[in-house]
Chains A and B, each alone.
Chain A
């Protein structure tokens, strides 16, 4: 295969300007059509690559010539590095690991998140959802769906699964919110990281004293036999799963509701056809793809990829958002069509790092969307659509608030 010289391409910066709240920045479409493997200028001054086609994004994320080691990648949106030596960045944080270390952690954790176990959680999730709908009904309308519904449900569920006391939610929600914000300064980030880290270390110490049957306590008990899990590793695992478990689903619930309310015909179909919810959830995942700045890998060696030569050490950004609007994979990609086969989306990533908690997220979304629109068949926005504040300033896209009435 002949390879174009990378020098002939001038680097672009990551498209970040959305012209409509439910569509990705238009820059992605141009890149996908004209320069699907483009040179990307990073805020730290380095130059790497940006992928915008579905096939290339999947290929990258399944390619073991690329590493997920976060100490070596540039951030597509931050000027400063993620404090590469901080123990909190490394220990137990399997999203930044490569095999064989990653495989060991993943195998240890996956059994807590299987399809079967997540289905067994459904009755408890239904109960949590129902309690929050009761509370909304008692105090409203109107209500802000984010604090009343979208945020507490996944937060409570992941706390119970991990064994994190839900009463501490103010601490971990505030810390993760700073860590996922684009506007936070390096000092603010460091303070939030230290606070969350200390919180998790204290929690792990408490679990060692009194292990329970939830995930962290169970890891401690299993590990007593073969002693591979230090407090730091357990805290790292807990921190990652806690942040991933509440931020992502919370935003899918609120933004998904906003999307459905903006497409009344689709919402109507979902209400009339209860079993549409499975494909509706996949289509919402695709259409909204909330990990809005994509995911990153670094080349371990010089790699020939999609006709280009990617040099060892260069960072490659896989735009999940752009991939999930690729018309080659999804005809009429900008249409929300709850009945379409959307399961090939990369909203959960692809390859060995594909989301560990995806089956939990699916069950939470199915239960929550179904119950919300059953309880409030006349749910509507209580403000104009353009008055809803969007999370353009956060790693995970969504809405900051969603005022609704019924």
Chain B
């Protein structure tokens, strides 16, 4: 889609060609049902490599389900999904790193082993994995906390370790499910700035589920607004200043405020 028209987009009806997506993602007419309950209907979504796409929608609309389908944690009932060229669920699973709402750090491992978990699972030795993950601790403001267990870390720090764990997995796609929802307002704003900085230095393809329109518009290049169940995409907006260095200035800019209002309107109409 072009950055000028923020709202609608037509999907190329050509057959899904996985190789054309690079490190990006492509969803075509994806629908999902739990038994009789239709949760998603006809979702079309596309993300260029290294772009950050937001998904906002009313609670319970199926945002998290969409993320799980994308990551290959569940098989979609309908439609096609491609992540970095892979269409089979097992292959998508290998290309996505999923960050759940709660940090879910393993309490028996120190921060460093939690961060290095994917590397260990991929077969790397403990020392090597610790070195690889530990190299990022300083940049993530976690220096000195390598040996600390999750129970002794603050909420913001736990979330950073959880994000580090997702990043270190080395997957082309990061799937973040309301990563900061559990934090207080100040910490959440700090974490958004922090994530913006992390993505500026280490760009990745990211799909970010959020219930917070402001968060999505600040962090993402584009934001898709979902309707109530069965969820469809009712609007797509381009963010005016994705991941700007000065968050406070960015979110109070008139263009940002207008985009936020538009998203809110779409949300209201979609959940009616």
Partners in one complex: no
